[in-house]
Amino acid sequence: MSEIWCRVQESDPRTLGGALYNAEGVRRGIVPILSYRDLVVWQVAMDLVIETYRIAKGLPVDERFGLCTQLRRSAVSIPANIAEGHGRATRGEYLQHLSVAAGSLRELQTHLEIVLRLRYTDPDSLITAVRLADRTGVMLTRLRRRLARPRSLDPPTPSHITLLPHSRSTPPP
């Protein structure tokens, strides 16, 4: 589950799978999400777009304005909706865009099945796209479930902090 919430920094040797490690190799925590680009689900969806364009390029010329366009449009919609939802003001809007991304993913999977059934390509050339689509789907589902959980109104208080009763008449010690 942490894969969804971590930032991938392959150039930084202190990070491994999004967790930050100090020089001694001790785990220091999860790197915060600063942008939609930090979401692994968005990164995998972008890889799926590239793979889909590769497949579309190999389709017959007479499919250029049909299936080719549909493949590309549905693939591009997935990371675009993840990014747009991440930038929205409310959690509900974010969930709505993730739902649209999930629908576009199912549409893309259907188009890939059509490509296969029409025998425009062999099954082996679709393996990477199918795996990326499956991975994207799992991550989208996990992210949607995580965001759908109710948030606690107050953040948990660390056990080493003692809360004092609030009094307006008495200044803090």
Whether residue 103 sits in one domain with residue 64 = yes
Whether residue 45 sits in one domain with residue 27 = no
- If 0-12 CB within 10 Å is exposed, 13-18 middle and 19+ buried, where does residue 98 land? buried
| Chain mean pLDDT for the chain | 81
List C-alpha distances in Å: 167 to 153, 156, 158, 170: 22, 22, 22, 6
The stretch 91-110 carries a mean pLDDT of: 97
Q: How confident is the model at residue 158 (pLDDT cuts 50, 70, 90)?
A: low
Helix, strand, or coil here: 152? coil
Whether residue 127 sits in one domain with residue 91 = yes
pLDDT at 76: 98
Q: Is the pLDDT of residue 141 over 50?
A: yes
Q: Is the pLDDT of residue 8 over 80?
A: no
Percent of the chain residues past pLDDT 70, beyond the cut: 69
Of 156 and 37, which is predicted with more confidence? 37
Whether residue 89 sits in one domain with residue 49 = yes
Q: Is the pLDDT of residue 30 over 80?
A: no
Token couple for 91: 């959690």
pLDDT at 12: 42
Q: Is the pLDDT of residue 56 over 70?
A: yes
Whether residue 142 sits in one domain with residue 57 = yes
Q: Is residue 153 part of a domain?
A: no
Whether residue 100 sits in one domain with residue 49 = yes
Q: How confident is the model at residue 33 (pLDDT cuts 50, 70, 90)?
A: confident
Q: Is the pLDDT of residue 3 over 80?
A: no
Residue 47 and residue 135 in contact, taking contact as beta carbons nearer than 8 Å: no
Q: Give 63-94 as a DSSP string.
A: GTTTHHHHHHHHHHHHHHHHHHHHTSSSHHHH
Q: Is residue 140 part of a domain?
A: yes
The stretch 33-51 carries a mean pLDDT of: 94
Of the candidate ranges 39-53, 81-95, 104-118, 138-152, the one whose mean pLDDT is the lowest: 138-152
The domain total for the chain is: 2
Q: 72: Cβ–Cβ under 8 A, 6 or more apart, which residues?
A: 52, 53, 56
Q: Is the pLDDT of residue 34 over 60?
A: yes
